Amino acid sequence: MKMTLAEVARVVKAQPLSEADGSRVVTGLTFDSRRLKPGMLFVPLQGERDGHEFIPAAAAAGAVATFVAADHAPIKTKLAALVVPDPLTAMQQLAQYYLLMKVNPKVVAITGSNGKTTTKDMTAAILATQYHVVKTPDNYNNEIGVPMTILSMEPNTEVLVLEMGMDHPGQLHALSSLAEPDVAVITMIGEAHIEFFKTRAKIADAKMEITDGLKEDGTFIYNGDEPLLVERAKKITQKQETFGLHPENTLFAHSINGHRNHTEFTVEQWPDLTFSIPIMGEYNVVNALAALLVGRQFHVKPEVMQKALAHFQVTANRTQWLIGDAGEQILSDVYNANPTAMRAVIRDFSEFTATGRHIAVLGDMLELGEQSKALHAGLADALDPHEVQVVYLYGSEMHALADALADKYSPDNLHYYPLSAKDQMIRDLQNDVGHDDMVLLKASHGLHLETVLAALIAGGHA
């Protein structure tokens, strides 16, 4: 971004600046004083600490100005101070102005209980074959990350691919209203955040909020295999297209052939092409279908999309195959987890051939609320001792699954560890895992199984 302070002040309705301050140019924006570069505007947000405490550090790093919340004004600083009711709201207002009035790219907004980050990466890769594309970095998908992504756009951006997350009602409404997407995508409805929503139906209601800001001539793309979405889509007046594995969808896949490092599939609408994605899982084929539909909306040729999908870059910690210190193959999927995702990855993992054993290391799935114990225990039918020979369970909620598996697995092959015993679990794994084994790591990110992954890769076997 590049704007004068006077223009910024006008957009966010800040108190007037002096003529000298108003003529200064803002070349970027950040809420983290450690990442501030000269010429940036500092946004003091309220986190564990009050962001206003870092205004002196922002000044020292070369900030050109700072927002100041009205309830903190006046504040002593050498920076030009733009006094606003709320710095976060001001940042969002500035982002919407920059998006709609300065750059005005086409906007693709993507949400879903699972698959939104992978779908974002696939979509951006396809569109980048013809357009100058900016996409959400990492998981900058909330009320802070979305405006930050928008404000990071270069002026020549033609398509903006935004990942949008949510953990409470109204969040996607606000994000969609801010971005006013041309295309809105919902990948699937799972159990993520069911602690707060209580039912999948209410999760579906919240996900549908992504259409609230959808332009009148926009397109709604969603998973047509999900009855909850099909039912709710009837109320949407914009153009609609669906994807999935059933023939009634606009785009559907068949002849799915899974491999350890890639998955091949064909699409009924383009029978002469075989698509390949560099990740495993039928569920990722469904994500690819969503990306293909978006690409078709932007008139990207099927054979061009085929090449883009074959080489797209996967965001870290999502179904990565790695090699451990003992030579074991490790399937790491430690970024998030819910019952739908857990079942899918266990199924795919169990289908890969291993000379040794299949060992599953599973941690708690968070934010499942009062249904948590039942949903954890319900995973028992996804685990077969003939397919997954050894199970390590970690976390307070996984105790329910340990109880449910007690009749299926011998004590030698079923191991449970409370949250306080991660170090012991790591030591036991290092002593147990052999060269010919295949290991799955899967849990919600809050369990930090990446530390287990790091230990297995670094070594320390007895």
Query: What is the identity of the amino acid at 225?
Result: D
pLDDT digits (tens, 9 = 90+) for 101-145: 999 999 999 999 888 999 999 999 999 999 999 999 987 999 999
pLDDT at site 460: 54
**Overall average pLDDT of the 380-401 stretch:** 97
pLDDT in tens, 76-87: 999 999 999 999
C-alpha torsion sign, points 78, 84, 86, 90:
negative
Residue of higher predicted confidence among 150 and 368: 150
HSE-up of 11 (CA within 13 Å, CB side)? 23
pLDDT at position 315: 72
Lowest mean pLDDT among 10-19, 87-96, 353-362: 10-19
Instruction: Tell me the one-letter amino acid at 240.
Output: Q
Separation of alpha carbons 386 and 408, rounded Å: 10
Rounded to the nearest 5 degrees, what angle is found at the Cα of 104, between the Cα atoms of 99 and 109?
70
**CATH fold of the domain at 320-458:** Protein-Tyrosine Phosphatase; Chain A (3.90.190)
Strands 263-267, 270-277: pairing is: antiparallel
Token pair recorded at residue 248: 């009634």
At 255 the pLDDT is 93
Q: What percent of the chain has pLDDT over 70?
A: 97
pLDDT at 252: 96
pLDDT for 370? 86
Is residue 434 a known part of a binding site? no
Q: What whole-number distance in Å separates Cα of residue 155 and Cα of residue 108?
A: 17
Is 33 assigned a ligand-binding role in the annotation? no
Share above pLDDT 90 across residues of the chain, in percent, rounded to a whole number: 81
Q: Say whether 413 counts as a known binding-site residue.
A: no
Q: Check if CATH label 3.40.1190.10 holds for domain 105-310.
A: yes
Other CB atoms within 10 A of residue 281 CB:
23
3-85 classified as CATH 3.40.190.10 = no
Q: Report how far residue 201's alpha carbon sits from residue 190's, in angstroms, rounded to the nearest whole number.
A: 10
CA angle 233, 237, 239 (to 5 degrees): 85
φ, ψ for residue 445, nearest 5 deg: -60, -30
What local confidence, expressed as pLDDT, does residue 461 receive? 47
- Over residues 269-303, the pLDDT tens digits come to 999 999 999 988 888 999 999 999 999 999 999 99
Q: Which residue has the higher pLDDT, 192 or 5?
A: 5
**Mean of the per-residue pLDDT values of the chain:** 93
Task: For CATH 3.90.190.20, list the domain ranges present in the chain.
Answer: 320-458
- Range 363-379 average pLDDT: 92
The answer to whether the beta carbons of residues 178 and 92 sit under 8 Å apart is yes
Residue 217 pLDDT > 60: yes
Please answer whether residues 225 and 247 qualify as being in contact, where contact means their C-beta atoms are separated by less than 8 angstroms.
no
Query: Does pLDDT of 201 surpass 60?
Result: yes
Most confident of 46-55, 327-336, 422-431: 422-431
User: Is 116 annotated for ligand binding?
Assistant: yes
Rounded to an integer, what distance in angstroms lies between the CA atom of residue 245 and that of residue 224?
A: 9
Q: Where in the chain is the domain with CATH 3.40.1190.10?
A: 105-310
> Shortest CA distance to 453 belongs to which of 321, 259, 261?
321
What residues does CATH 3.40.1390.10 cover in the chain?
A: 3-85
Q: What is the pTM of this model?
A: 0.84
Span 307-360, pLDDT tens digits: 999 999 877 656 788 899 999 999 998 888 889 889 989 998 998 888 999 999
Q: Is 112 annotated as a binding residue?
A: yes
Among candidates 253, 308, 307, which has minimal Cα distance to 284? 253
Residue written as tokens 């223009």? 7
| Separation of alpha carbons 392 and 389, rounded Å | 10
